[in-house]
Structure 1
């Protein structure tokens, strides 16, 4: 009897899976959850942060997002941010790590952070609202 390739490495014990997936959810936000919150006006407690360059932000951005390119994040450029809030970082897609770099820098500066799964590419593919002309333009990394 041949073992299925998908089961070559056994699944973890339920307790291990709980810890792993619980941690994953602590670090990431689903675009559907975010759009539902935005549409319902549930915007207290977090800020959506575009971590790519300014030109990317101008082309297409999640409504209400602020632009803070990860390359520009310092104690000085983040001094106006409220450390009581959670900062949800996003970038172009899973092929871009600007959101990860931004979340890391913000965490190093003492901020609570999460990352938006899939970036703005997934956001647009799902048909969610976008500010800027980028809905029809090619979305690029622009890190």
Structure 2
């Protein structure tokens, strides 16, 4: 389960298609009734300059969930050319050549 831990403004600005919106402060109260504890969780927030995904991952871990953090957050998701859901539909920007290869599927690391 992919969790967007940002606030309402960030979520409405755009989010990863299929993600569930659950701000960090709401996790202890809403996660147990919303997400099966056996479901692995991946948290994301704005990007590397924000520790929101880390704090959200901690809240899920305290509840016993298997959890990982999506490094780079939505910033790098967008910069690498992946789709973003908004109220107007799904959009996609060209990949940023500083973060993703232009003429290959992977970075070959």
Displacement after TM superposition at 1:77 (Å): 1.0
Within the candidate set 42, 49, 52, 1:95 is matched to: 49
Q: Which of these residues, 88, 95, 115, is aligned with residue 69 of structure 2?
A: 115
Equivalent residue number for residue 60 of structure 1: 14
Scaled by the length of structure 1, what TM-score is found? 0.58
Q: Which has the higher contact order (CA 8 A, sep 6+)?
A: 1
What are structure 2's unaligned runs of at least 5 residues? 94-109
Q: Deviations over 1:59-80 (max 9, x none)?
A: 1100000000002221x31122
Number of aligned residue pairs: 89
8 A Cα contact 1:60 1:135, kept in partner = no
CA shift, 1:117, in A, is 1.1
Choose between structure 1 and 2: higher helix proportion.
Answer: 1
Q: Give 1:82's aligned residue.
A: 36
Query: If you compute each CA radius of gyration, which structure gives the higher value, 1 or 2?
Result: 1
Distance 2:59 2:76 in 1: 23
After TM superposition, which residue ranges in structure 1, 4 or more long, deviate above 2 angstroms? 133-136
